[in-house]
Structure 1
Amino acid sequence: MNGTDAPVLLHTAGRAAHITLNRPRALNSLTHEMVLRVDEALTAWERDPAVETVVVTGAGERGLCAGGDIRTIHDDARDGDGTASAAFWRDEYRLNARIARYPKPYVAVMDGIVMGGGVGVSAHGSVRIVTERSRIAMPETGIGFVPDVGGTHLLARAPGELGTHLALTGTQIGAADALLCGLADHYVPSAALGDLVDELAGLPAAEALARYAQAPPPGVLAAHRIWIDACYATDRVEEAVRRLYDHDDPAAKEAAETLLTRSPTSLKVTLAAVRRARGLGSLERVLDQEYRVSCAALTAPDLVEGIRAQIIDKDRAPRWTPAALADVTDADVDRFFTPLGERELGLATTADGAPEHGGQTRS
């Protein structure tokens, strides 16, 4: 047992081992220490025959995890040399890949807010539970960053252009839309979560879920598929914005307005990353790509400026550089995908022959 003030709480109950992300005042945002602690626990439980299921939850009432500790990343990018952030991402992305390959049921309770790094520690799991309170998003373009933690892998595999829409706009989605996009597997009402988690102490995950899983309340994305698929079926962000503005559906115009508040560089790099992820195949190859992109973002101006505007000063008025989509060149985008040489993450070289996450049998 950990002290109750530890950022990650670990305990076992019957056949289930529990990870609780425990920084509720910071909406359980991930620090490097937390990533390492979770990885250590997974190592121990993988070898423990008494542990049959791993359960991940967030402390407090607001959500599982709002993402990484971006204040620390901001300070490192502004005042340091970026090595601390790169080291954090290296271990975080390795953890994301490990979760996807974990040999025991990994039950992620995606209740409340689940964003950025929170998606990374949940949506790669083999059993992903959402509730009527779930608010899931990859909102990175709003802070001058690009979806990471395997997010471009997940969103590239969503039906049609739904993933492109979510990656570029950072739109929050609920339970039904998370299920539609392949980010979750089961809907359980939040009031039943306590009983479900208790039953995992004595029952296999599939058997416990059979008692509590239900059909979710209706979502919104299915009704928007026509304009989403039509407008985002392009490799140019400017063209997507033009199509959105020209479409008759007011929701399409609203999406266009949202895009024009995001970092132009982040939008173009994000679209390129999602398109490239479709051809890369494995999660490991995509994480290798995301690591290159993330490290490049540390030396670009929009990451520091975006976090300043949204989190530090909270003026919500970022001054992007360049300020217009037309001023972001193909060469500017390509720079984010430049190989890192000896600094590569190198996950793909260690995962040759591993089964794809999408090929797992889900509970």
Structure 2
Amino acid sequence: MTGTDEIIVTRAGILGHIVLNRPKTLNALSHAMITAITGALREWEADDDLRTVLISGAGERGLCAGGDIVAIYNDAKAGTGEAARFWADEYALNAKIASYPKPFVAFMDGLVLGGGVGVSAHGSVRIVTERTRIGMPEVAIGFTPDVGGSYLLSRAPGELGTHAALTGGMFTGPDAIELGLADHFVPSEDLGRLALALESIPASRAVAEYQRAAPASTLAGQRTWIDECYSADDASEIVARLQASDVPEARAAAATVLAKSPTAVCVALESLRRARRLDSLEETLNQEYRVSLRLAAGAEFSEGVRAQVIDKDRNPHWSPPLLRDVEQSAVEGYFESLGSRELGLSPGTAAPSGTADRSRA
């Protein structure tokens, strides 16, 4: 066994197991954890005796609640450049997971948010449970879905991904399957036995033994109003349609969107629309990197983190305060080239997550 206080890496039989080990912070990802995961994957990739990789989270609360937002916030204020290095390495890891040549099994149990989606939903064998609560809540802190989230959500059925991105909501395991973020449903009480089975038999056989039919997805039953309201390419129009709907859930969604950062909502919508036109996960991660660096350098992200995480007054003062005040030219500015600072991931080095060949299982 090898590891640090923040991550545990073990090898048993044909299985390499990565455990995110920061339960007090809901296994929030630090830069050191990202580096350790990448190193383990590189080592195992060349090991012919190792057939399967598993990632899970320590504790009972979830796989991972995202990146270490406080550390990124502190860097944004100090201007050390660590946030840029963090995202560069994190996004490269997301691409590596998506193209990994061996079954990459993710136990998406409990909370799976933001960066937690990045280290799981790009895998080839994605398992949810009755305890799964998954989401990309970035618009609540003046940020937008990253870690390839805009790629995944832009390829969800209909406008389900747009709904998930603009509301920043949390969804169930069955909803995750409906969104295309997961593949299999396994009761949480069986995860330990499944992990043990993965040590000696192929992932496809082990998962087939323990998976169960997923309960009905609530999200699937809401496709009609979601597709109708979110098909617009303007955030103000989307909210107007939601407010005019006869469906109570639609009007509630409008109120939720209006509580988020107007700038982040508009940039998130633009990000998803552009991601639909991109051919690879790598291109999308390059796009997300541009947006992430510019948002981190602006006031919205700092204010969102202050209100939600630092002071916890839950009273952010967004600027501009209204969706109609966000200028399209300002939105487009977040996507402009970074020049020599571009991330530069090459298309084709990772299988597109939304359409990946999952026969590796």
Matched letter for residue 359 of structure 1: A
Aligned equivalents of 1:233 and 1:243: distance in 2?
Answer: 10
Aligned partners of 2:138, 2:279: CA distance in 1, in Å? 22
Q: Is the 8 A contact 2:95 2:350 kept in 1?
A: no
Render the CA deviation track for 1:206-239: whole Å, top value 9, x for unaligned.
Answer: 0001111111122211111111000001110000
TM-superposed deviation, 1:109: 0.4
Q: 1:45 and 1:320 mapped to 2: Cα distance?
A: 45
- Write the distance in 2 (CA, Å) between the matches of 1:171 and 1:227: 16
Residues 1:361 and 2:355 are matched in the alignment: no
Secondary structure of the equivalent of 1:29?
A: coil
CA–CA separation in structure 2 for the residues paired with 1:216 and 1:353:
32
Segments of 4+ in structure 1 off by > 6 A? none
Summarize the alignment of residues 248-327 of structure 1 with structure 2, pairs less than 5 Å apart. Answer: 248-327=246-325
CA contact (8 A) 2:96 2:350 kept: no
Deviation of 1:167 after TM superposition, in Å, equals 0.5
Counterpart in the other structure of 1:30: 29
Distance 1:16 1:148 in 2: 29
Question: 1:81-111 CA deviation, whole Å, 9 max, x = no partner?
Answer: 2511010000000000000000000000000
Q: TM-score, normalised by structure 2?
A: 0.98
> 2:98, 2:350 within 8 Å by CA — same for their partners in 1?
no
The residue correspondences of 1:146-185 to structure 2 (distance < 5 A) are 146-185=144-183
Q: CA RMSD in A?
A: 1.1
The alignment status of 1:12 with 2:11, answered yes or no, reads yes
Offset at residue 354 of structure 1 (A): 5.6
> Measured at CA, do residues 113 and 353 of structure 1 come closer, stay the same or move farther in structure 2, by a change above 3 Å?
closer
C-alpha distance in 1, partners of 2:37/2:68?
A: 16
In structure 1, give the amino acid aligned to 2:243.
Y
Equivalent-residue separation in structure 2 for 1:56 and 1:102 (angstroms) = 13
Identity of aligned residues (%): 53
Whether the 8 Å CA contact 1:82–1:298 is kept in 2: the answer is: no
User: Post-superposition shift, 1:115?
Assistant: 0.3
Amino acid at match of 1:39: T
**What SS does structure 2 have at the residue aligned with 1:178?**
helix
Give unmatched runs, 5+ long, in structure 2.
none
Contact preservation (8 Å) 2:98, 2:351:
no
1:69 aligned partner, one-letter code: D
2:258 partner letter: L
Distance in 1 between residues matched to 2:182 and 2:352, nearest whole Å: 17
Aligned partner of 1:100 in structure 2 is 98
Structure 1: tracts of 5 or more residues without a match: none
- The secondary structure found in structure 2 opposite 1:248 is coil
How many Å apart are 1:356 and its aligned residue?
Answer: 3.0
Deviation at 1:352, TM superposition (A): 3.8
Paired residue type of 2:310:
I
Are 2:99 and 2:349, in contact at CA under 8 Å, matched by a contact in 1? no
Taking a change above 3 Å as real, the CA distance of residues 82 and 140 of structure 1, as seen in their structure-2 partners, is: farther
Whether the aligned pair in 1 keeps the contact of 2:95 and 2:349 (CA below 8 Å) is: no
What one-letter code is carried by the residue in structure 2 that aligns with 1:278? R
Aligned to 1:81: 79
**Is 2:41 aligned against 1:42?**
yes
**TM-score normalised by length of structure 1:** 0.97
Structure 1 residue identity aligned to 2:28: S
**Corresponding residue for 1:144?**
142
Question: In 1, are the aligned partners of 2:282 and 2:345 still within 8 Å (CA)?
Answer: yes
Counterpart for residue 132 of structure 1? 130
Aligned to 1:2: 2
